[in-house]
């Protein structure tokens, strides 16, 4: 479905991002995966090459909020692969801190990664995407619709991702660039595994499909939205959550 396409996927070292990297590679794309550390990026590349040494995959670990670093990395990706067709802004961190305990530092950390990096990576990618009628995909969350009862900056950042997605889709439509987001429900990644049992168990009971989602459930949605099968879809927030509505 993505034969000949070049994708950049942030937060590609594990969880939803890693599964999306693999899904895109299996569908014929060349992929640059971005992570936060050299070590985890190298581990992810090693694991992928072990599974299939033909995979066309590169790894980088720039500061996602630094425009200059992103420019250097995206230019290197373009030089290596010849184009940039798809950007998946997936890196994100969550929080369950109560508002009275929030520090300014935690506020900045969440808004920098979950909002500013989406803005910065998109801004830097747009000149390349214009040449290819490319695609921007963002990882939102079900809490971007319903909120959550703690860690207010996390849902707030995902509401911002939705606003960014819908607005940028309209701004860039005349270039043929599509911008969409996927809003995952409860997905079995490190982000969720780190939550206490007493939080996760009741959460699963509220999911009508009766299970947590797997990273591949989200990767499948990204694959569809990245592909030409979604060529008339832009500005949507696609819920992939087993009808979870908490
Ligand atoms: P994860 O913790 O398994 O992976 C997070 C990824 O983000 C990793 O690849 C990590 O390297 C990267 N990352 C973290 N901090 C970074 C930084 N400072 N700079 C660059 N990269 C950094 O999490 P996940 O569950 O796979 O989450 C991926 C996305 O999905 C996030 O945006 C998250 O908000 C969203 N999401 C997850 C769930 C869920 O239930 N797991 C639900 C809704 C939305």
DSSP bridge partners of 10: 34
Give 77-108 pLDDT, tens digit per residue.
Answer: 999 999 999 999 999 999 999 999 999 999 99
Sheet strands (E) in 133-176: 135-139
Q: Say if residues 117 and 160 touch (Cβ distance below 8 Å).
A: no
Specify the pLDDT at position 242. 97
Question: Which ligand 1 atom is the nearest neighbour of the CA of 12?
Answer: 9
Element counts in the chain: helices (H) and strands (E): 10, 7
Judge if the beta carbon of residue 93 lies within 6 A of ligand 1.
Answer: yes
Give 34-74 pLDDT, tens digit per residue.
Answer: 999 999 999 999 999 999 999 999 999 999 999 999 999 99
Pick from 11, 20, 203 the residue to mutate for probing ligand 1's pocket: most ligand atoms within 8 Å of its CB.
11
Rg (CA), the chain: 17
Give 211-237 pLDDT, tens digit per residue.
Answer: 999 999 999 999 999 999 999 999 999
Q: Say if residues 242 and 208 touch (Cβ distance below 8 Å).
A: yes
């Amino acid at each position: 479905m993505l034969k000949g396409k070049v994708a950049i996927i942030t937060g590609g070292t594990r969880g939803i991002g890693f599964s999306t990297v693999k899904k895109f590679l299996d569908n014929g794309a060349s992929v640059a995966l971005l992570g936060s550390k050299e070590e985890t990026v190298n581990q992810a590349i090693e694991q992928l090459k072990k599974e299939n040494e033909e995979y066309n995959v590169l790894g980088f670990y720039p500061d996602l909020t630094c425009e200059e670093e992103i420019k250097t990395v995206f230019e290197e990706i373009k030089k290596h692969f010849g184009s940039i067709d798809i950007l998946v802004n997936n890196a994100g961190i969550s929080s369950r801190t109560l508002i009275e305990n929030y520090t300014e530092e935690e506020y900045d950390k969440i808004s920098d990664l979950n909002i500013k990096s989406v803005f910065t990576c998109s801004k830097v990618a747009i000149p390349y995407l214009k040449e290819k009628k490319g695609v921007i995909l963002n990882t939102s969350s079900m809490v971007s619709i319903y909120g959550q009862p703690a860690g207010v900056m996390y849902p707030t950042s995902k509401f911002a991702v939705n606003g960014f997605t819908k607005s940028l889709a309209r701004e860039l439509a005349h270039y043929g660039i599509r911008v969409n987001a996927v809003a995952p429900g409860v997905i079995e990644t490190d982000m969720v595994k780190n939550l206490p049992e007493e939080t996760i168990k009741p959460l699963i009971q509220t999911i009508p499909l009766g299970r947590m989602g797997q990273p591949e459930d989200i990767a499948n949605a990204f694959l569809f939205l990245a592909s030409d099968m979604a060529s008339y879809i832009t500005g949507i927030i696609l819920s992939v959550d087993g009808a979870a509505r908490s």
